[in-house]
Structure 1
Amino acid sequence: MSDDHESIFDGLTGGDSAQWAFGTDFEDPLAGVDTTVPDGVGSAELAAYCLMLGDDALVMSQRLTEWCSRAPDLEEDIALANVALDLLGQARLLLARAAAADPGVVPALPEGSPVPPEDALAFFRDAGQFRNVWLAEVANGDFAHVVVRLLLFSTARLALLERLSASADTVLAAVAAKGVKEVAYHRDWAGRWFLTLAQGTEESRRRLDAALGELWPLLAELVTAHPVELALARSGVAVEAGALRADVDAVLDQVLTVSDVPRPALEDRPDEDRPDEDRPGGGRDGVHTPALAGLLADMQSVARAHPAGRW
């Protein structure tokens, strides 16, 4: 160790230990971007829509990170990690857009906390404040489960992003245009593995069929219009989810046909996954399965334990 440094870390930080582990602030992801809300569009509605799309990506990303070191081989392990990172990047931009549109959606934090708005939205909201669909949050199963979930999720999200790239909101249009290339890879990766498992062994086909039976009903939430989407679609900002159904069906039908897998019926969610029956709505309205609370407990634990920490 050099006499100039009391710690080996001093040489890496220039003697300022505050920059080691803490203090490595990220720049505002929307710096230099025009975040003006389009004329005739409500700030609260735009923020709500961005939370829907951002929460979908954030929660799905978290579920995929749980596969790190657990995939069948290193190549697929890295592929799933990269998909998770793509979605995390989309989530960061969308949550930042939500905060820029309506700062009132950002949770209150201790005075002087260095947490940026998008991090506050990710780490300091409770489950009932999240707006993601149930498909993104249900607990992981086996490898067939992650393949089916990603195929359904990415097929619907790609159809959405392709349309959203023409949004009247310049931020959403830019995020969507970038996301199209990423999610196209996600869909193709899942489609190839779907075919492989379907045409593989009896066991791989059994597991695929089981995952498809469990997750297919949850696709409905991604292709069903929500009032927030309908209102913003009229102003050219959002995409009405119901308009995605035909394109999503066409892609999934192609995958199912090539894989020789019968098409399940698009029906209501299974009763065993349904939250309290006296609570209306679904994930878009803040009504979630018990799985989300457990996911958030893991994801948010460090940030909540150190709300004034500089990362």
Structure 2
Amino acid sequence: MKIIVPMAGRGSRLRPHTLTIPKPLIPIAGKPIVQRLVEGIAEVLEDEIDEIAFIISEDFGVEIEAKLKNIATSLKAKSTIYYQDKPLGTGHAIMCAKDSLSGPAVIAYADTLFKADFKLDKEADAVMWVKQVENPEAFGVIKLNDKGQITELVEKSKDFVSDLAVIGIYYFKEVSQLKTQLEKVIEENIMHGGEYQINDGIKKMKENGAIFKPGQVDEWMDCGNKKVTVETNSRMLKFIHEDQKEQLMSSSVKIENSEILEPCFIGENVFLKNAKIGPNVSIGNGTTIENSSIKNSLIQENSQVLNANLDKAMIGNFAKFDGNFTSVSLGDYSVLD
């Protein structure tokens, strides 16, 4: 089984946090978004992952590529890096990895996390992962027939079609079928808003008789902007704390006259002095927090937080914060004192 991850976009809605690293490497509960994504997929598939193909921008650099390779290695999978040189849509991004488009595969966009407990229907030609939503008019949704097969994929319809929204994760029993149809999409220059879309390849597969079925997830968590990323961090901490499958606090944390309200993730060599931390806080390696109260927040590595009262805040790497602000969004290497 392969996992194909298009992630070439920088994540402009999450700036300033994506000015120095791409959005999929922002940590959620101590792990990069993309790592949590592929680990979650591997858990649902219950199959050995042979290869993880990352489609990135060439300007991400060797350090980012090394981190991605380490994520694949952690799942005992081969890592392949492809480059998307122009932002020409999801279909174009997938075709940048055409050399890996064979055999069974999952294609997943790296700005979404999920929690699911369903068995993948591997008899279907393809599975589209969906989540029941209250406002389906804001999403692409699927329409089902009485056999539970997907008959239609409708984008943001004002008229009710269904409340099952597509979350951007797809399984293909033979992904070369999608490759063949996306080649036709590009040859025929079928574009929407100047981009080639995966949906047009899916529609061509269906026209050729492919059977698509839904796989419904329990939780769907977005990481599109600062607000929802902080919310996703809180939700993920809650799930991990309940499942007790991961250790959330490093043994190297130094605590002096401080209180921790679970759930929290606290990384290696963190120093807490006169602090009240939590609930729902993630603190990256090497960060110092003094004389502060922090809840519902995400603070990355090697930063310094002093005299703070933070709620729903997001602070990057190597940042310094000292002040009476509350819901801040402070990027890497920034100083506010």
TM-score by length of 1: 0.30
Structure with higher strand content:
2
| Structure with the larger RCO, 1 or 2 (CA within 8 Å, 6+ apart) | 1
Structure with higher helix content:
1
TM-score by length of 2: 0.28
